Amino acid sequence: PHHIWDDGYFRRYYEWLQETQWWSSDQLEQYQLEQLQALVRHAYENVPYYRRLFDELKLKPEDIATLDDLQKIPLLTKEDVRNNVEDLIARNIDRERLLYETTGGSTGEPLGVYHDKHTTDLREWAFHFRQWNWAGYRFGDRYVILRGDPIARLERDERACWDYNTGSNNLVLSSTDMSEE
C-alpha cells in the first residue's frame, strides 16, 4: 500500500487527468469557463475578501461570462494575501481541513496561506505523476528528487545531503547540503 497512489481521491483525480489530457482545445476552454464561473460564484458567496472586492468594483459573478472577463478582477498580490489572510478563507469550509503554511521567503518576507491539508498535495502529486507518465514513469519506478530542502536523519540526529525513501522508491538529494566533496 502507498499513501498517495492508493488514496481514492488521488486515483480519481489522476484518472481524470489521464482522460482530459486528450480533450480538444474547445472542450478544455468550455471546462475552464464552467470552472471559472463556479469559482467566481463560490468566492462571491463565501469568501469575505472577494465579496468586498466585487462590491467595491460593482461586479457580480454573472459579469464574468467569458475567460477574457477574468481581467475585470484585479490580480491578488502577496500584499493582498498578507493583509487579508483570514478574509480569504471561505466561510463554508471546515477549518479543521485547512493547513497554514508559509513560503521560504526567498524573495523577502515569507508568505503564509491556507490550503486543504488532504486534497492539495494529492492533486499536486496527480499532476506530477501524469507528467512523469509522459516520460515513461510508472508507479513504483525509482526516481530522484533534487531540491533545497534540508534532510534530517532523525535516527542519528544529523543533517545529510541525501536520504532514500523506501516507501516511494526515491532518492532525495538536498542541494542545500551538497558540496564538491
Q: What is the mean pLDDT of residues 154-181?
A: 80
* pLDDT tens digits, one per residue of 92-125: 999 999 999 998 888 889 999 999 999 999 999 9
Cell (9 digits) for 142: 525509482
Nearest 5 degrees, angle CA 126-CA 86-CA 60? 80
Residues 6+ apart with CB under 8 A from 129: 14, 137, 139
Cell (9 digits) for 33: 469557463
pLDDT above 90 for 88: yes
Q: What is the mean pLDDT of residues 59-73?
A: 96
SS (H, E, C) 42-86: HHHHHCHHHHHHHHHHCCCHHHCCCHHHHHHCCCCCHHHHHHHCH
- The predicted pLDDT at position 156 comes to 60
Say which DSSP state 175 is in. Answer: G
Quote the CA–CA distance of 16 and 31 in Å, as a whole number: 13
- The predicted pLDDT at position 124 comes to 94
pTM: 0.79
pLDDT above 70 for 75: yes
- The predicted pLDDT at position 79 comes to 95
Q: What share of the chain has pLDDT > 90, as a percent?
A: 72
- The predicted pLDDT at position 154 comes to 59
Phi then psi dihedrals of residue 112, to 5 deg:
-105, 135
Q: What share of the chain is helix, strand, coil (3-state, %, to 5)?
A: 50, 15, 35
Strand partners, 115: 99
